[in-house]
Structure 1
Amino acid sequence: MKAVHFGAGNIGRGFIGLLLSGSGYEVCFVDVNDTVVSELARRKEYPVTLASDQKETVIVTGVTAINSKTAAAEAAQAIAESDLVTTAVGVSILKHIAGTIAQGLVLRKAEGTQGKLHVIACENAIGGSSQLKEHVYAGLDEDTRRWAEENVAFPDAAVDRIVPLQQHEDPLQVVVEPFYEWAVDESQMFPGFHRVEGVHYVERLEPYIERKLFTVNTGHCSAAYKGYLQGHATIQEAMNDEQVVQHVRSVLSETGAVLVAKHGFSETEHQAYIETILERFANPALTDEVSRVGRSPIRKLSAGDRLVSPAKQAYEHELGYDHLAKTMGMALLFVSADDPEAVELQASLQEAGASATLTRYTGLEAGHPIHQAALAHYEQLKQNR
């Protein structure tokens, strides 16, 4: 069995490629990093180390790589011959790889390749595969689209594994946390698909996507923004600060109430999930910079993302949202000169003021109670600095 995976970064190698190889796939990575691609193609293997006390290392074998900058046609041919296509490139990059996938589908149809194909976007976004499908279909003619509807599926997925920024002497080595979750919407797949060991196949994906987004991602950025204001450099350092931990717990209590009310999760089981997440954030074997986790505050403040979405749902369910609003106020105070979104956000605050900036980036009008709460927290936090 052959799999093509777009994105040979830390998530691609340390999570998706690891599981695919472990399930018997020959994995062909497609990436633009010259060093990583050449080393993967030369060595055909790479090490993955778990961030645990034992620091166990697994050698992932049966891999190769293609440079999509210089060999796009070769990448398209690999897709034509593959059994599975996955991505871990970042949701904003999906439109840039869609053309190569479309070319691969055209070749697959022309060559009469047997078997159904699944294309799974393993991105930190709701409906990543559905978004990728739209980009791919934009590059297909009507006849190929009809063929693809019968032969290619784009099941949505939710992925979760903390892989911090890291540098090693070996450019292929990657360190990952032991915990992972990869859920795929089985209802969007063709019958008889080959199951990847370690993947959780579900009939309804939204509860798992929102549980991850509103717990892991919401909690992580809450720790980052509170940790930043407390002067901490890393998430692990921040999670040793009781004020940070208490803030994150309060935020996750609010998002947890939404998840229980909306999706029927057991309160006891969800609380256990929260405790697991807090332990992951504090893992001393990981070093994750506050600047990395807090990066891209505009995206994190957007209407459908990890802060505004659960706050709005809490408001609609007549549940608490004050600590989520406080985190929004904290995000407005996040300054990072090498983060374009943080720079843009600070410029907007200077030029338009806090209220207009909140409306611009969250979609919450000035009269909305969440907007008012976030603005009040921002002004108080700014005064206390």
Structure 2
Amino acid sequence: MKKAIQLGAGNIGRGFIGSLLHKSGYHVVFADVVEPVVNRINTDKEYTIFIKDTESSEEKVDNISAVYSNKEEFIDVMKEAEILTTAVGPNVLKIVASTIAKGITARFESGITGYFNIIACENALNASSGLKDNVYEYLSDEVKAYADEYIGFPNSSVDRIVPPAYCSNPIDVVVEKYYEWNVQKIEFKGPIPKIEGMNLADNLMSYVERKLFTLNTGHAITAYLGYLKGYKTVDQSIDDPEIYKIVKNAMVESGNALIEKYHFDKDEHLKYIHKIINRFKNAHLKDDVTRVGREPLRKLSPTDRLIKPMQTALYYNLPIDNLIIGVAAAFNFRNQDDPQSRQLAEELNTHDLVSVIKEVTKLTQPEIINKIVLAYNKFQNMD
């Protein structure tokens, strides 16, 4: 039976990509370092996905096993599989690159000439390309030539809300019904595997930025504004009329930039925005604002969901008033359980606000920075 590796056995790995690989007839090997998860998968050999929507359903995922991603058994599985997907978080890709490089080297040394594709399914731009660069740092020139011929690194865009949720079985997972997985067609090596739910894209960047500028932008701003108003979940936050108005207008601002850049149909994109906002309203998910808002430094970086759409809109001389509010709200986010949030708070305590904004966002336009400062201070003065 054909075999796939899902590197990262967390909620996204089990509730999204691993599920699609299973539906497509693969024996899915989950690779992780978390001992209770690895052991439970190997003991139960199945788990349940609970799909929560207006009409809920369940999906059983079986024909699975697990290995430790930091042990030799992972290298052995890489010699047997034909595809590897990741869901480890963008910041972890550099860490796993050396292990993936060992697996590619092992395939080369074993004389394996089957094609092998590695798809980084992360909330980041060009994650697979970045992973490839990291992996190649650990390859000899001879193995690099082998990888150039047999190892593909297609970029992808993933979209499914998979919040943490209590389940009696710790490897069961709760997800929303909606999902979208777009993968760069041209970067596959060899015959493209048939995977249910995988959309092959010729112009992947339009899909990537549509998702980043819409789902990710709106989700983050909803969480930050909801946090500042004392709400616990995304659905509670978006039900607040003031938050709803700001979030929708911010998504329209980022959407107008996409329409200019990719010539999207305006009416169709407005329908897409409406669909995304309705996903935020799904009370069954109980998606915590502190989860969605975590890692604010990454989310405020120049290539991510707040600054990137704002800069794109500015390039086309479009309004960004509500995006500015979202950025200011992000700078006011505090979560003691999140290292990046603690780091941001420390930076703001020890440096002036303008310097921190410049350093984190890489913005250079004084008038934009001043508007963020005004909006930030307005949040600071909230009762």
TM-score normalised according to structure 1 size:
0.97
Partner of 1:13: 14
Aligned counterparts of 1:302 and 1:54: Cα–Cα separation in 2: 37
Of residues 123-132 and 47-56 in structure 1, the stretch that sits farther from structure 2 once superposed is 47-56
Partner of 1:142: 141
Task: Please list, as runs of the form range in 1=range in 2, the aligned pairs for 1:185-196 lying within 5 A after superposition.
Answer: 185-196=184-195
User: How far does the alpha carbon of each residue in 1:144-164 deviate from its partner, in whole angstroms, 9 at most, with x for none?
Assistant: 000110011100000010011
Task: Please list, as runs of the form range in 1=range in 2, the aligned pairs for 1:32-43 lying within 5 A after superposition.
Answer: 32-43=33-44
Partner of 1:201: 200
The percentage of counterpart residues that share the same residue type is 38
1:159–1:182: 8 Å Cα contact kept in structure 2?
Answer: yes
Opposite residue 124 of structure 1, the aligned amino acid is N
Partner of 1:369: 367
1:220–1:293: 8 Å Cα contact kept in structure 2?
Answer: yes
Partner of 1:55: 56
Aligned counterparts of 1:82 and 1:191: Cα–Cα separation in 2: 14
Task: Please list, as runs of the form range in 1=range in 2, the aligned pairs for 1:331-350 lying within 5 A after superposition.
Answer: 331-350=330-349
CA drift at 1:199: 0.6
Partner of 1:269: 268
Aligned counterparts of 1:100 and 1:350: Cα–Cα separation in 2: 39
Partner of 1:230: 229
Aligned counterparts of 1:309 and 1:200: Cα–Cα separation in 2: 25
1:91–1:123: 8 Å Cα contact kept in structure 2?
Answer: yes
2:42–2:65: 8 Å Cα contact kept in structure 1?
Answer: yes
2:7–2:69: 8 Å Cα contact kept in structure 1?
Answer: no
CA drift at 1:349: 1.8
CA drift at 1:113: 2.1
Partner of 2:97: 98
Of residues 289-298 and 177-186 in structure 1, the stretch that sits farther from structure 2 once superposed is 289-298
2:150–2:190: 8 Å Cα contact kept in structure 1?
Answer: no
Aligned counterparts of 1:54 and 1:333: Cα–Cα separation in 2: 37
User: How far does the alpha carbon of each residue in 1:138-182 deviate from its partner, in whole angstroms, 9 at most, with x for none?
Assistant: 111100000110011100000010011122220111010000000
Matched, 1:383 2:377: no
Partner of 1:154: 153
CA drift at 1:352: 1.3
1:311–1:370: 8 Å Cα contact kept in structure 2?
Answer: no
2:48–2:59: 8 Å Cα contact kept in structure 1?
Answer: yes
User: How far does the alpha carbon of each residue in 1:86-138 deviate from its partner, in whole angstroms, 9 at most, with x for none?
Assistant: 10000111122112211111111122224211100000100110111111111
Secondary structure of the 2:381 match is helix
Matched, 1:67 2:65: no
1:312–1:370: 8 Å Cα contact kept in structure 2?
Answer: no
Opposite residue 380 of structure 2, the aligned amino acid is K
CA drift at 1:191: 4.6
CA drift at 1:284: 1.5
User: How far does the alpha carbon of each residue in 1:311-366 deviate from its partner, in whole angstroms, 9 at most, with x for none?
Assistant: 1111110001111111111112112222222222222222212111111111113x
User: How far does the alpha carbon of each residue in 1:46-68 deviate from its partner, in whole angstroms, 9 at most, with x for none?
Assistant: 11110123321111111100022
2:149–2:189: 8 Å Cα contact kept in structure 1?
Answer: no
User: How far does the alpha carbon of each residue in 1:59-89 deviate from its partner, in whole angstroms, 9 at most, with x for none?
Assistant: 11111000224xx211011111111011000
Secondary structure of the 1:256 match is helix
CA drift at 1:377: 1.0
User: How far does the alpha carbon of each residue in 1:194-238 deviate from its partner, in whole angstroms, 9 at most, with x for none?
Assistant: 121111101111000001111111000110111112211111111
Partner of 1:129: 128
CA drift at 1:266: 0.8
CA drift at 1:262: 0.3
Aligned counterparts of 2:192 and 2:111: Cα–Cα separation in 1: 19
Secondary structure of the 1:384 match is coil
List runs of 5+ in structure 1 lacking aligned partners. none
Of residues 156-165 and 103-112 in structure 1, the stretch that sits farther from structure 2 once superposed is 103-112
Partner of 2:46: 45
Secondary structure of the 2:358 match is helix
Secondary structure of the 1:195 match is coil
Secondary structure of the 2:65 match is strand
Partner of 2:303: 304
Partner of 1:215: 214
2:213–2:254: 8 Å Cα contact kept in structure 1?
Answer: yes
Secondary structure of the 1:65 match is strand
TM-score normalised according to structure 2 size:
0.97
Aligned counterparts of 1:32 and 1:339: Cα–Cα separation in 2: 20
Aligned counterparts of 2:289 and 2:344: Cα–Cα separation in 1: 17
CA drift at 1:380: 2.2
Of residues 146-155 and 323-332 in structure 1, the stretch that sits farther from structure 2 once superposed is 323-332
1:187–1:204: 8 Å Cα contact kept in structure 2?
Answer: no
2:294–2:341: 8 Å Cα contact kept in structure 1?
Answer: yes
Of residues 269-278 and 51-60 in structure 1, the stretch that sits farther from structure 2 once superposed is 51-60
Aligned counterparts of 1:56 and 1:201: Cα–Cα separation in 2: 27
Aligned counterparts of 2:143 and 2:113: Cα–Cα separation in 1: 16
1:321–1:370: 8 Å Cα contact kept in structure 2?
Answer: no
Aligned counterparts of 1:140 and 1:31: Cα–Cα separation in 2: 23
2:115–2:190: 8 Å Cα contact kept in structure 1?
Answer: no
2:90–2:123: 8 Å Cα contact kept in structure 1?
Answer: yes
Partner of 2:316: 317
Number of aligned residue pairs: give it.
Answer: 382
